[in-house]
Chains A and B, each alone.
Chain A
């Protein structure tokens, strides 16, 4: 994988791009790899490290890009760092091709104009773009990508017991359990899926569909209890049956939608069974049933894949990937964001209309999202005055007034009249566009985490903006 970092800084012109790791884009990255990557990508940290330590070292007066690329290699000898000592702004205009080689681009501190140009290059090549910045106690990150797929989302629970439409072997298995037995040992060791299947069977004799209203659900739960009159209400398997029945119905609804839309089909069974109160023999039998069915589903899917691949003349997909795919079939995600161009180039009114209520509420309550507008205003201030507000001592007081006026104008353009923001707006002027090492390190960590999610196609990246407020140590994510 190669990764590019383009960045300029007010303190001095430097850009930096690096060949990150020599692993190829197609390499199949496994879960455990996740723990190996983050330390490679401590961009903001390293930046601060070097600006604060420049004197007394051979680095003083050297190119930051060069120093960072060197220290990256020291951090991890497997990392190949390279750099381009050119003005990023010019590079974007004159040699846009350079950016197309990367799997991902991280930007910190580019002007809005250059950022938009770079974002266009990245968007057209389907390269994810991560912009990250800190401003005093504030940190902001924005992810932009046309499409991102995640097979392994690692949900807390990926269990699908398919109790809403049991296959024949499962029905047979459930039939073997006798519910009217007096032997409480047998009853308390009846696995909860069996209890649910039996309750559902009785229910269907009197009802056309599964319970959907609250009242129906209560009476279904009562039916479960009636099935096991001799079992104490606090027995584990009974409790498991009750708590799983609500999940089952939620699952059924989602599945129903899927079936109607996707051609009356089911997802392949993941084949895992949760731990439950049962004796070993019943549990293992049940587990084997699910496992066999999952294997059969998987084989079926593999056959489709083979046919498809040969029809489309595509390379066959690895069997291992199909395994992972089946296990996660219910949790696949395809994500996408708006492009920066479509966001910035629309009129302010349009920009905010799609999430107007969110911003309006944030302004009213003084929530963290407000800082997004404040940061945009700071960039406007810079475009107007050639510097960020509060950076020159002599102009501090006048900057305060000018910045608040600018923000008011911005709010009016966006159509927000009721706002509670004064302290937060002032704070930006006091921050004077400074970079605090602690906040930079925090955003560096956050950005690395998201970069690795994007590169490994594992776990869910933030959708798509993140703001951290170092004063209150609170953070908010929201969609632009």
Chain B
């Protein structure tokens, strides 16, 4: 640690020199905890708006072994708020540029980037960290990370406990939270709180459009796939947006609807709420603050969820989110349905997809004796596809235990279907 000059860390060491009124029970001040702060290993998931703030805050707090994972490259549109990136970095890996920047500015801080997906790494990799901080905008990636740290936790072995700090922002709203496996609510426990993207029922879009949004969604969801069978609509491609704009306008004129603009079209297509740099700064700072407290114990953690709204005054609400007994990740999930015995397996899968509290994408189902429907590998999918059109009573008995997995999510839940 020859790079440390006298008093370099005096501010962050101050709280570690003596037990204060709000230190956690059993807090041991002194050189050991000070060393631990500098030596422990922290993983940051996401090097975007939140990630840039997070890595800067953690480096300034004295964490010297930081890993950062991001699969994205830098885009020009990121430069306004992802302040570790410059014009010359456009096209490069976010994780790598962020790591270089921090290492060039904060001597003694080692940042290890990984340019790739979180799913590329396994339990062994994640178990090297003291804690993990997520600054992501993807619900799926968070669910995966959450399930990973909960799966890793073995109650017999305290060293397997990896706290997860999660931050998220949307416009002027944000939240930060601390997840302790099987002690606090996990990400999956509160999945219902996640606001669903605003979409409109297809019958409205197709038959009774009233809003400009309805026309734009008709253009992007119905007309685009009709016209360009193999080309995916890209919300960042102005040509694509122009096309949707033209089609939506035609339809709007037909129905006498006003208010279709380019920015609205882009907003609906991309379903974006603009990211605000100050919200990112606030939420990332709160996450870093929780990391400092968790690692050192110099003060207790937040209990355990803080929501933040900053458009009218400043409002925060911090509360203890309860664990859910039937959580498919940290609890003993058992879904119970009642269905007609003559219903088809496809009906059961449709019902599962509608369940907001589990939000499955591509569920696979099997009983202890056979596969009912498997999404992968392709051969198995093909073999089980015919079951979709079969009656439930011909596939399993009433309340027989069915195991549901999802290829995009590391979760597994039990399902009982009472046939009548």
Contact = CB atoms under 8 A, between A and B. Distances in A.
Interface of A: 32, 34-39, 42, 45, 48-49, 52-56, 75, 136-137, 153-155, 275-276, 278-281, 283-284, 287-288, 291, 396, 422-424, 426-427, 430-432, 434-439, 441-442, 444-446, 448-450, 452, 459-463, 466, 468, 470-475, 477
27 contacts: A39-B80, A39-B277, A42-B281, A52-B8, A52-B9, A54-B5, A56-B3, A153-B312, A280-B255, A284-B255, A291-B258, A426-B20, A427-B22, A431-B14, A432-B14, A436-B15, A437-B60, A438-B61, A441-B281, A442-B282, A446-B282, A448-B278, A459-B172, A460-B313, A466-B314, A473-B290, A474-B316
B313 A441 contact: no
Given A275-B211, A461-B313, 4 more contacts: A48-B11, A137-B22, A442-B286, A472-B300
A475 B314 contact: yes
A155 B279 CA distance: 18
A263 B2 CA distance: 76
Interface in B39-74: 53, 56-57, 60-61
Contacts of A42: 83, 281
Contacts of A283: 210
Contacts of A32: 274
A413 to B, nearest CB: 24
Interface string B359-394: 000000000000000000000000000000000000
B270 interface: no
B3 A445 contact: no
Contact of A470 (B211, B275, B289): B289
A55 B61 contact: no
Contacts of B57: 437-438, 441
Interface string B283-309: 011101111110000011011001000
B107 A35 contact: no
Interface in B244-296: 255-258, 274-282, 284-286, 288-293
A438 B15 contact: no
B416 interface: no
A422 to B, nearest CB: 8
B20 A430 contact: yes
Nearest to A464: B313
Contact of A472 (B172, B303, B311): B303
A281 B300 CA distance: 59
Nearest to A435: B11
Contact of A434 (B14, B106, B310): B14
Contacts of A54: 5
A-B pairs with lowest CB-CB distance, top 5: A445-B281, A473-B302, A442-B285, A438-B289, A38-B277
A35 B53 contact: no
B321 to A, nearest CB: 13
Nearest to B87: A77
B88 interface: no
Contacts of B292: 436, 438
Contact of B20 (A288, A427, A446): A427
A449 B310 contact: yes
Contacts of B18: 396, 430
B318 A472 contact: yes
A163 B196 CA distance: 32
B143 interface: no
A446 B278 contact: yes
Nearest to B282: A445
A426 B289 CA distance: 21
Given A439-B285, A442-B285, A423 B53 contact: no
A55 B12 contact: no
B240 interface: no
A288 B256 CA distance: 9
B278 A36 contact: no
Given A49-B60, A288-B256, A472-B302, A441 B284 contact: yes
Nearest to B288: A438
A437 B81 contact: no
Contacts of A445: 278-282, 285
Nearest to A155: B312
B302 A463 contact: no
Contacts of B277: 35, 37-39, 448
B289 A436 contact: yes
A427 B311 CA distance: 31
Contact of A35 (B21, B274, B314, B318): B274
A129 B306 CA distance: 28
A441 to B, nearest CB: 4
